């Protein structure tokens, strides 16, 4: 594959590529913003609502500690969810697109 002769703008205009980009951006930036908001709210409430976090839920285990655990679980969830989403959708779409480009000649 000669790099210089590849018409990248043409690929960038390819509807399949655009669709892949759109879905990726929606997923990735969307979940990043949700995560960031959750994290910041968690910190702000920790600071301003000490009494809330001090509420004992089970025995002497308080809400504050349970939230810490919940956030670890949330991070695992994001890791697992993204991995499965990418395996199911974006990897396939990418492979499909690259296959298309090869078949049609990269400059077509």
Rounded Cα distance between 85 and 65, Å, is 30
Q: How far is the CB of 42 from other proteins (least distance, A)?
A: 7
Alpha helices in 1-62 (DSSP H): 8-13, 15-48, 50-53
Residue entry with tokens 């969307």: 30
> Does the footprint of other proteins cover residue 2 (CB under 8 A)?
no
Rounded Cα distance between 14 and 69, Å, is 44
- State the residues that interact with other proteins by CB under 8 A: 1, 3, 6, 8-9, 11-12, 17, 20-21, 24, 28-29, 31-32, 35-36, 39-40, 42-44, 46-48, 50-51, 53-54, 56, 58-62, 64-65, 68-69, 71-72, 75-76, 78-80, 82-83, 86, 91, 94, 97-98, 101
């Amino acid at each position: 594959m000669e790099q210089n002769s590849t018409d990248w703008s043409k690929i960038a205009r390819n509807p399949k590529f655009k669709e892949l980009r759109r879905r990726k951006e929606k997923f990735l930036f969307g979940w990043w913003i949700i995560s960031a908001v959750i994290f910041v709210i968690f910190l702000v409430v920790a600071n301003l609502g000490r009494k809330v976090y001090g509420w004992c839920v089970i025995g002497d285990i308080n809400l504050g500690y349970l939230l810490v655990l919940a956030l670890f679980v949330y991070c695992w969830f994001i890791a697992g969810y993204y991995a499965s989403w990418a395996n199911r959708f974006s990897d396939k779409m990418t492979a499909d697109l690259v296959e298309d480009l090869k078949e049609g000649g990269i400059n077509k």
